[in-house]
């Protein structure tokens, strides 16, 4: 028998005007995990970054897999390469970020976010129906509980109409 709803919407934002960032703050530590689902319409080809607790220290690393319909690739960015920019998700084809026609979904699964004894694992997925998909595993090497999420493109803005939805997962 199902234990009931396990996803609870914590917050939702739809941009009425272009914005350089979106922040979810004061996230309660009452859930086991967090899920962030967004459609970050970008005004230019940009990588997307997410910083837990707005941390700018070099405590991030990313390992990714990419498929574009005709080829596959993989790689890793270490903490020094990211320079404290945050959890990275893009098309990993260079520095161009998402394709200019990006209108797909980005999903972050943030595991054990309130735990204060372990580092945090963040799974990220993004893609479009027509030209690519990417999956990444990210490490936020901090034992601090995550109480805020800060999202931003490398440069430029999120376009009007971008949506961001944060959910908490309750243990079943």
Angle at 135 (CA atoms; ends 133, 136), nearest 5 degrees: 145
Q: What is the pLDDT of residue 55?
A: 67
Quick check: is 1 in a domain? no
Q: What's this model's pTM, rounded to 2 decimal places?
A: 0.85
Give me the domain span that covers residue 63: 7-169
Structural domains counted in the chain: 1
The DSSP secondary-structure symbol of 94 reads S
Q: What is the pLDDT of residue 100?
A: 54
State which residues of the chain have pLDDT below 50: 1, 91-96
Q: What is the pLDDT of residue 22?
A: 95
CATH label of the domain that carries residue 35: 2.60.120
Q: How far apart are CA 120 and CA 140, in angstroms?
A: 5
Quick check: is 78 in a domain? yes
Quick check: is 2 in a domain? no
Q: What is the pLDDT of residue 13?
A: 96
Q: What is the pLDDT of residue 82?
A: 52
Quick check: is 105 in a domain? yes
Q: What is the pLDDT of residue 94?
A: 45
Cα dihedral sign, 79-80-86-90:
negative
Side-chain-facing half-sphere of 172: CA atoms under 13 Å: 7
Q: Per the structure block, which two tokens stand in for 67?
A: 């498929």
Instruction: Give residue-wise pLDDT tens across range 41-83.
Output: 876 566 778 888 876 666 778 888 888 778 888 888 766 555 5
């Amino acid at each position: 028998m199902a234990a009931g709803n396990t996803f609870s919407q914590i917050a939702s934002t739809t941009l009425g005007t272009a914005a350089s960032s979106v922040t979810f703050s004061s996230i309660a530590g009452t859930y086991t995990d967090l899920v962030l689902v967004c459609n970050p319409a970008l005004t230019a080809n940009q990588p997307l970054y997410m910083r837990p607790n707005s941390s700018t220290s070099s405590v991030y690393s990313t390992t990714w897999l990419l498929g574009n319909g005709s080829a596959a690739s993989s790689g890793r960015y270490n903490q020094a390469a990211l320079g404290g920019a945050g959890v990275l998700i893009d098309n990993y084809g260079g520095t161009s970020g998402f394709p200019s026609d990006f209108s797909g979904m980005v999903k972050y699964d943030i595991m054990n976010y309130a735990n204060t004894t372990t580092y945090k694992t963040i799974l990220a997925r993004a893609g479009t129906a027509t030209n690519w998909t990417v999956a990444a595993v990210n490490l936020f090497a901090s034992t601090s509980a995550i109480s805020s999420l800060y999202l931003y493109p490398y440069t430029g803005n999120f376009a009007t109409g971008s949506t961001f939805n944060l959910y908490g997962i309750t243990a079943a």
